[in-house]
Amino acid sequence: MTTPVFTPSFLQDLEHLFVWRRDVRHFCSSPLPDALLNTLLGETCLAPSVGLSEPWRFVLIQSPDRKEAIRQNFIASNARALEGRRGEEAKHYATLKLSGMDEAPHHIAVFCDTNPTQGRGLGRASMPETTVWSAVMAIHTFWLAATARGVGVGWVSILDPESACRTLSITPNWQFLAYLCVGYPKEPARTPELERLGWERRNPARRRWIYR
Amino acid sequence: MTTPVFTPSFLQDLEHLFVWRRDVRHFCSSPLPDALLNTLLGETCLAPSVGLSEPWRFVLIQSPDRKEAIRQNFIASNARALEGRRGEEAKHYATLKLSGMDEAPHHIAVFCDTNPTQGRGLGRASMPETTVWSAVMAIHTFWLAATARGVGVGWVSILDPESACRTLSITPNWQFLAYLCVGYPKEPARTPELERLGWERRNPARRRWIYR
């Protein structure tokens, strides 16, 4: 294969992909074809990883009992998150829909093997967190590959990670990173839901860099 | 703007982008146009972030003294990483070029504001690491936006983070994540350099997911 040249049209579409990628919380219940899910997971594994360690691990949850236990985990964690808020902010928080797990047809938990033999430790001696960060970049790769195919992804982080590991019978050397709800979104949107609902808004990119 | 429809041709090019994105350690010394660097940083800020907190912070290093201090940090950290290895592995490790900072025209350090007011703490009560992980996804966004424009990025993680913060006079609430070398690559490559040099190889994606 020769070096690809990416056209101006591709660059514009790539920017649209970044712009339209959303954290989705409203899903249609129709499942993805198996082949599509496999394609997405395959592309995901092209993510960067420290020392080529590929430490990402995906757990596709099929058991209704396990899904229900995760749902209870979310409800309890979200109630605790609400307890820490007061007044108008608490009222506003309580109105937000922060998980699409009741409707999303696919639930994928993402873990990191935090001490992988693959990669032989290269690049992580002084910054061992780079292993987890590699798995995080795989999540982002999945997100983009999915969005490009009209598939929505919602990252639920309002969970107790230890409880999630127990629910999913996960080996102790895997760290829980994310619970992804995956499916076709009810309505694609250009603007983040938290911005549409007045919780927070994007700020100018130019404020994010300085010179030294 | 109406919902974009991504064509099969775009999906194929997006896969090529994932396939050809490399951790670059061999750079041409010619700098990027200012406008291009600004475009890349602007797209980077479209990354996902917990609670829409946008906690990524970029530091563009221009001072030759600071660059030299980071170079010394790398040399010392890499020597320590080598000390932990024995025999053939130590010999092999010593032959690897693990940083392109001597040639790369742009050096960008990436930090995370670990307790941002933006986002009002949403989504991070039970998993506060999601803030750092948001900034990691911004790094990956930068990497992809750069690769699509023929720009190479190399993530140097063989550094002492505390020393890097002192060198760059960074506020204590910013966590050091990455030192990125940025510039035009000497030779684009489809295969990771660590694979070409026999250090490690990619493994089949299918081994990375299980069912529960």
Q: What is the pLDDT of residue A11?
A: 98
Domain contains B15: no
Q: What is the pLDDT of residue B55?
A: 98
Contact between chains at B208 and A56 (C-beta distance less than 8 A): yes
H or E element that contains A43: helix A34-44
pLDDT tens for each residue of B54-90: 999 999 999 999 999 999 999 999 999 999 899 999 9
Chain A interface includes B72 (CB < 8 A): no
Contact between chains at A158 and B211 (C-beta distance less than 8 A): no
Q: Which residues in chain A have Cβ-Cβ distances shorter than 8 Å to B206?
A: 42
Closest CA to B196 of B11, B2, B8, B26: B26
> How many distinct structural domains can be found in chain A?
1
Its domain, for residue A161, covers 24-186
Residue B1 has pLDDT above 70, yes or no: no
Chain A interface includes B151 (CB < 8 A): no
CATH number of the domain bearing residue A45: 3.40.109.10
Query: Please, which pLDDT band fits residue A2 given cuts at 50, 70 and 90?
Result: confident
Domain contains B207: no
Reading across the β-sheet that carries B174-183, which strands appear in turn? Answer: A209-211, B56-61, B106-113, B174-183, B152-156
Chain A interface includes B18 (CB < 8 A): yes
Q: Which residues in chain B have Cβ-Cβ distances shorter than 8 Å to A7?
A: 13
Query: Please, which pLDDT band fits residue A1 given cuts at 50, 70 and 90?
Result: low
Scan for tokens 């030192």, then name that residue: B179
Residue A84 has pLDDT above 90, yes or no: no
Question: Do residues A180 and A142 lie in contact, with contact meaning Cβ atoms separated by under 8 Å?
Answer: yes
Chain A interface includes B186 (CB < 8 A): no
Domain contains A69: yes
Instruction: Output the average pLDDT for chain A.
Output: 96
Domain contains A197: no
Domain contains B95: yes
Chain B interface includes A36 (CB < 8 A): no
Query: Please, which pLDDT band fits residue B49 given cuts at 50, 70 and 90?
Result: very high
Residue A177 has pLDDT above 70, yes or no: yes
Question: Do residues A205 and B45 lie in contact, with contact meaning Cβ atoms separated by under 8 Å?
Answer: yes
Domain contains A194: no
Backbone CA torsion sign across A91, B126, B113, B44: negative
Domain contains B9: no
Tokens of A52: 């080529």
- Name every residue whose Cβ is closer than 8 Å to that of residue A159 and which is 6 or more positions away in sequence: A70, A73, A74, A77, A176, A179, B126, B127
Q: What is the pLDDT of residue B73?
A: 98
**Overall size of chain A counted in residues:** 212
Whether the ipTM is more than 0.85: the answer is yes
Domain contains B12: no
pLDDT tens for each residue of A21-69: 999 999 999 999 999 999 999 999 999 999 999 999 999 999 999 999 9
Residue A196 has pLDDT above 70, yes or no: yes
Contact between chains at B51 and A145 (C-beta distance less than 8 A): no
Question: Do residues B185 and B25 lie in contact, with contact meaning Cβ atoms separated by under 8 Å?
Answer: no
Chain A interface includes B211 (CB < 8 A): yes
pLDDT tens for each residue of A121-169: 999 999 999 999 999 999 999 999 999 999 999 999 999 999 999 999 9
Amino acid at B66: R
Q: What is the pLDDT of residue B3?
A: 81
Contact between chains at A52 and B89 (C-beta distance less than 8 A): no
- SS3 at position B167: helix
pLDDT tens for each residue of B106-165: 999 999 999 999 999 999 999 999 999 999 999 999 999 999 999 999 999 999 999 999
